[in-house]
């Protein structure tokens, strides 16, 4: 098992974070039936790169990298901030906007470490609830989040490939009882 630590992302991490995001989303969207062209095109990658640069620079967003100390390289990333939806109180809730791990590092506990980092950030900010959206066809992510105590809260929105995004909720009083 590699020695992984979490640290704040910087502008120097944009390329690595974009690569991680591209590889992870390609793996789960291809598994869900999306075409490779729409996932890996240079235009789509450039849009992801610009979005990560903005996220890292925003004051209302936290981006953390999971770094393999032995290789001194980022292997995972998370982004959290204010909730997207108006029915969620930002005074009590933080949203995990994205979490990605390089597919060749799946199953090594990196996602669990990133999730623990998110829960730690919620607690530091005195937030009692965490939400996120998972694509309905991403069975791997949905299983991962269920294992970490997240449950659907009934809210969905249209997603790609005629599959909805499903909002998942984690109440911190339950999180303390969940093991990873």
pLDDT of 138 reads: 86
Q: For the chain, 180 residues long, give each residue's pLDDT as a single digit of tens.
A: 568 999 999 999 999 999 999 888 888 766 555 666 666 778 888 999 999 999 999 999 999 999 998 877 999 999 999 999 999 999 999 999 999 999 999 999 999 999 999 999 999 999 999 999 998 988 889 999 999 999 999 999 998 888 899 999 999 974 444 444
Instruction: Please enumerate in sequence order all residues whose Cβ is within 8 A of that of 17, keeping only pairs 6 or more positions apart, or say none.
Output: 9, 52, 56, 63, 65, 74, 77
| Cα end-to-end span (Å), the chain | 16
How high is the pLDDT of residue 70?
Answer: 80
b/e string for 59-75 if b means 16 or more Cβ within 10 A? Answer: eebbbbbbbbeeeeebb
Q: Are 148 and 170 in contact (CB under 8 A)?
A: yes
CA 66 and chain centroid, separation:
12
Which single residue is written with the structure tokens 């990298």? Answer: 65
Bridge partners of 152, per DSSP, are 168
Q: In whole angstroms, what is the distance from residue 150 CA to residue 162 CA? A: 23
Rounded Cα distance, 8 and 117, in Å: 11
DSSP 8-state symbol, 176: T
């Amino acid at each position: 098992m590699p020695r992984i630590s979490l640290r704040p992302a910087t502008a120097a991490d944009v390329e690595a974070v974009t690569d991680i995001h591209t590889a992870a989303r390609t793996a789960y969207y291809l598994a869900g039936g999306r075409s490779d062209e729409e996932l890996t095109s240079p235009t789509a990658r450039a849009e992801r790169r610009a979005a990560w640069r903005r996220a890292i620079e925003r004051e209302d967003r936290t981006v953390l990298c999971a770094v393999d100390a032995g290789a001194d390289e980022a292997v995972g990333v998370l982004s959290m901030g204010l909730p997207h939806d108006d029915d969620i109180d930002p005074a009590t809730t933080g949203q995990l906007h994205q979490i990605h791990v390089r597919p060749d590092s799946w199953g090594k506990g990196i996602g669990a470490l990133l999730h623990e980092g998110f829960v730690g950030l919620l607690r530091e900010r005195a937030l009692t609830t965490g939400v996120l959206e998972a694509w309905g066809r991403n069975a791997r992510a949905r299983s991962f989040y269920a294992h970490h105590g997240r449950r659907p809260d009934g809210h969905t929105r249209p997603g790609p490939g005629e599959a909805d995004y499903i909002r998942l909720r984690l109440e911190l009083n339950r999180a303390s009882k969940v093991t990873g």
